[in-house]
């Protein structure tokens, strides 16, 4: 499915569905929002370790090398934890489209969670923004969703295939509006 695919097992951690509500699409940021950060973390971990080990390999005695190895291990662990939280945020920063609402769930670490939702019938405008060679060639971009809810703006940032997500959101919103219109 477009935009990261739907994963039913992950939905329970995003939000509890209401009676009669079903998941239509689960979106997360495109992989381009994650992998460059992980590459930077790898470089931040590897370059200082390589320089430190190279510098201490020329030193006399075993003690400087042992200290360098211990410092390198600690440094790599710190950067690995940092990389883990980059992955964790990417994995848990999701948007859920159901047949009744749009849910924005952000979870940057274990002890922080923000969830906002808007009824689909309250969505007024949806705009897609995909600009530049990278976004066009890798097919990712932003959806700006304007609502009549308390949180008036949702930004689905750097999602894969924003045009397909826009189509799904519009179709689902139209279905929700038809379902909420009472016969005259």
Domain segments of the chain as ranges: 8-29+93-179, 36-87
Pick from 120, 127, 123: which is nearest to 99 by CA?
120
Q: How far apart are the first and last CA of the chain?
A: 38
Average pLDDT over residues 35-61: 89
For the entire predicted model, the pTM comes to 0.77
The answer on pLDDT for 1 being more than 50 is no
Torsion over CA: 54, 56, 57, 63 (sign): negative
Say how far apart CA 131 and CA 43 lie, in whole Å: 28
Q: What is the pLDDT of residue 58?
A: 77
Q: What is the pLDDT of residue 12?
A: 45
Q: Output the average pLDDT for the chain.
A: 86
Show the tokens assigned to 32: 């381009």
The pLDDT-based confidence of 9 (bands split at 50, 70, 90) is very low
Pick from 72, 40, 26, 73: which is nearest to 53 by CA?
72
Q: What is the pLDDT of residue 138?
A: 95
> 154-159 long-range contacts, Cβ below 8 Å, gap at least 24?
154/95, 154/102, 154/104, 154/116, 154/118, 156/27, 156/95, 156/104, 157/29, 157/33, 158/29, 158/30, 158/32, 158/33, 159/3, 159/4, 159/27, 159/28, 159/29, 159/30, 159/95
183 versus 18: which is more confidently predicted? 18
CATH class of 8-29+93-179: mainly beta
Residues 35 and 15: beta-carbon distance below 8 Å:
no
Say how far apart CA 91 and CA 159 lie, in whole Å: 12
DSSP 8-class letter at 121? G
pLDDT in tens, 88-145: 999 999 999 999 999 999 888 889 888 888 899 889 899 999 999 999 999 999 999 9
Say how far apart CA 66 and CA 53 lie, in whole Å: 10
Rounded to 10 deg, the angle between the 35-57 and 63-92 helix axes is 180
């Amino acid at each position: 499915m477009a935009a990261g695919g739907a994963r039913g097992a992950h939905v329970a951690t995003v939000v509890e569905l209401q009676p009669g509500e079903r998941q239509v699409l689960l979106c997360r940021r495109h992989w381009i929002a994650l992998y460059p950060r992980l590459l930077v973390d790898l470089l931040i971990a590897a370059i200082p370790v390589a320089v430190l080990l190279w510098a201490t390999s020329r030193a006399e005695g075993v003690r400087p090398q042992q200290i360098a190895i211990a410092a390198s291990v600690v440094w790599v662990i710190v950067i690995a934890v940092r990389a883990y939280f980059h992955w964790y945020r990417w994995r848990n920063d999701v948007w859920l489209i159901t047949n009744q609402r749009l849910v924005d769930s952000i979870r940057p670490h274990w002890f922080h969670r923000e969830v906002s939702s808007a009824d689909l019938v309250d969505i007024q405008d949806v705009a897609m923004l995909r600009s530049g060679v990278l976004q066009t060639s890798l097919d990712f971009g932003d959806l700006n969703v304007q609502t009549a809810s308390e949180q008036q703006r949702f930004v689905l940032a750097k999602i894969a295939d924003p045009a397909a997500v826009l189509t799904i959101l519009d179709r689902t919103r139209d279905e929700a509006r038809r379902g909420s219109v009472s016969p005259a």
